[in-house]
Structures are given as C-alpha cells and as structure tokens.
Structure 1
Amino acid sequence: MKRIAVYCGSATPEDPIYVETAQLVGRTLAQRGIGVVYGGGRTGLMGAVADAALDAGGEVIGVIPDALVGTEVAHRGCSELHQVSGMHERKKMFTDLSDGFVTIPGGVGTMDELWEAISWAQLGYHRKPVGLLNAAGFYNDLIAFNQHMIDVGFIRPAHASIMVVDAGIEGLIDKMEAYVPHTPIFAMKADDL
C-alpha cells in the first residue's frame, strides 16, 4: 500500500490516549513508507495524525471542502492540500488517492466516512481494505453491532470481512496488506455514485 486514507475526528478529547493514538498512526504510516490521505485539518486528531506523519518525513495529502477551510482551519503544511466543493467529492478523492482506509476514534463525520467506505466496497466501487483501529476499546460496541448485522443477515457473508479490525496500528496494517478482496454486489463506477 502506497497511501492510506485516515478517518478521524477534528476534536481533541480530554483523555490523551486519543491524541497519542493519532500521533502513533501518523508516525507509523510514515515510518512504513505509507502516505497519509486525510481530511486536511490541523485541529484535533486530524492535526495530530498529519503533524506526526510530517515530522517523521511522511507524505500527507489533505482533502478539505471549501466550506470547512475556515471552520477546520486547513493544514497549510501538508505535502498537498486539495480544496473540493463538498463532502461527497472529498470522500471520492479519499477513495481515489488511497489504497485502503483506517478509521481511528472520531465522531459522526468519522462514522459517515467509515460506513461509506464499507458501502462503496459492497457495491463494487472499490475493493480496498477498510481498517478499524480499536484503540483503547473505543469501537467495542460498534464491532459488536457490525457482528449483529452479519448474524441477522443484513451484511452478506461475502462482505463480512470488509471491515478489518485490530487494536494496534502495526497489526492492522499487516492485516490490511494481507486482505483478500471481497466479491462486490455490483461493479459500480464513479459516475454511478
């Protein structure tokens, strides 16, 4: 994998484990020669991922909608910073520029990005691994809910392995690199989205 899109929050929670996790992700990706594609902000976990990757000599590509440039305070120190018209174009560019996705702790926007990456995988828009970093057990309930959707039958058996989970970034990247692409429902193209 040459680049991974990192989905995370623009907030800074009180517990330092979340910022430390974001920094570890950015640093680890850079040390492994994997570029970071992310939301383009310099605040919260977004900024922590970007700064750590840049400090470790890594490539960092930010993708930020015009309307959020001022709100999220765009990170002008990125290797590349793309301003796009809206959120849909942002997520499409994340997908086009990356070889996989890693979701670390975040809020509603982070969940939107995660589920859209999984949905697009099911529909055949991409066949890339979608990683979930369960740092400090943050996603325990989400992992259980995903399993519940599988058990009930809302997620097809062929798609049960799209979400790749690990508690550590090194293990998660290793699993993502070993990912065997799933069989999509359709073979959608960008114009179909």
Structure 2
Amino acid sequence: MLKIGVIGYSGELTEEKIKNLSEITFEIGKMIAKNGWILYSGGRNGIMEIVSKGAKESNGVTVGILPWEIDGNQYIDYHIKTGLDFSMRSFVLVKSVDVIISIGGEIGTAIELLGAYANGKPIILMNNTGGWTDRIKKCLIENTYLDNRKTAKVYSVNTIEELEKLLKKMEVEK
C-alpha cells in the first residue's frame, strides 16, 4: 500500500489558481482512495483540502502533517500536530511518504520538492498546474533529476490516468 503525499498551493478555495485546479485535485484524491492508498498532505486549505475531500468521498484514509498545534481541515482523519513551523513540518511530510505528487504551488511546495528529492523520494509533477510544479521542470537534468547525484526520479504526467498507471507501477516495484 502506497503512502502518497500531495503538495501544492495553499490558500482559500475561491482563489483563481486553486479554483482552476479543484476538479483535477479532487479526482486525484478519489483515485488515491479507490486504489487503497493512504493520502498524506499538509492538512490545511487549498490543494490539501480539495485532495483530502476527494479521498474522503471515496472512503479513503487521510493524514495531515500540520504545522505548530493547529487543526487540519475537516477531511483529515489523522491530524499530526508537529509543533514545527511550515518548512520543518514539510520534512516530516516528505519522510512519511513513498512518493510525492505536486500540483502548482509556491515556495512551500518548492521546499517540499527539494526535500523529497534530497530524501530519495520519487516526485510526480502534474503538468500545466502552474507554480513550482511547472517551474521545476526547467531545472531537470536529463529531464529526470534535480542534480548529478540522481537521488530520485522526477516524473511528469498530463492526466489522472497517466498518474494512476505510474503509481501502480511504483507500488509493484516497492
């Protein structure tokens, strides 16, 4: 069973950048749950809330790795209150999962992407979702790695079907 971290934009669900990604994000949550995988996120608002809602509506299990002592969104089953700030909490998230899926995102997402790579966690970028998910592709070596150590593979997908196929392959290889 895969433990999948989903990272991306935080913020109000009405913000244009989040609202535009709500359908695909919700469907990713449903797909994770349908396959019996566990969803991990930062547990707050934005992409984290939408993906968690999708997972919960498909009877999935959701874990929120939260900063400080705050509560997560209403779709989180397990609220892990780290007592840490946003950046440090991100490393707990990265260490807890088998793979990271990135959807848009600002600097917190960039920190999580680099943390995942440094810890040898595969990263899947959802193409055309904006933010650091799209920006980081310009930095890749051989279209796959963030540096010459080749610590972890970075994949890009365009659809939920491609994403699901890749995750199933990773589960078999695990």
- How does the TM-score come out when normalised to structure 1? 0.72
Q: Deviation digits for residues 134-159 of structure 1, max 9, x if unmatched? A: 1457644431x123x558x9722x62
Q: How many residues align?
A: 166
Instruction: Note the C-alpha offset of 1:161.
Output: 6.2
Matched, 1:155 2:147: yes
Instruction: Give ranges in structure 2 of 5+ residues lacking alignment.
Output: none
Q: Deviation digits for residues 87-109 of structure 1, max 9, x if unmatched? A: 45523432343221111112111
Q: Deviation digits for residues 18-73 of structure 1, max 9, x if unmatched? A: 111211111111111111000011x2221111111111100000010116x2xxx6
1:66 to 65, 68, 73: 68
Matched, 1:2 2:2: yes
- What RMSD over aligned residues (CA atoms) do the two structures have, in Å? 2.9
- Aligned to 1:155, the other structure's residue is in SS state coil
Q: State the alpha-carbon separation in 2 of the partners of residues 75 and 135 from structure 1.
A: 26
- Could you say which structure has the larger radius of gyration? 1
Contact 1:39 1:63 in 2 (8 A): yes
- In the alignment, what sits opposite 1:82? 80
Summarize the Cα distance change of 1:165–1:84 in structure 2 as closer, same or farther, 3 Å threshold.
same
Give 4+ residue runs of structure 1 displaced > 6 Å after superposition. Answer: none
- In the alignment, what sits opposite 2:156? 165
- Aligned to 2:16, the other structure's residue is in SS state coil
- How does the TM-score come out when normalised to structure 2? 0.79
Matches within 5 A, 1:1-193: 1-11=1-11, 12=13, 13-14=15-16, 16-41=19-44, 43-66=45-68, 69=70, 74-86=72-84, 87=86, 89-121=88-120, 128-135=121-128, 139-143=133-137, 145-147=138-140, 149-150=141-142, 155-156=147-148, 159=150, 162-179=153-170
Q: State the alpha-carbon separation in 2 of the partners of residues 8 and 33 from structure 1.
A: 22
- Aligned to 2:119, the other structure's residue is in SS state helix
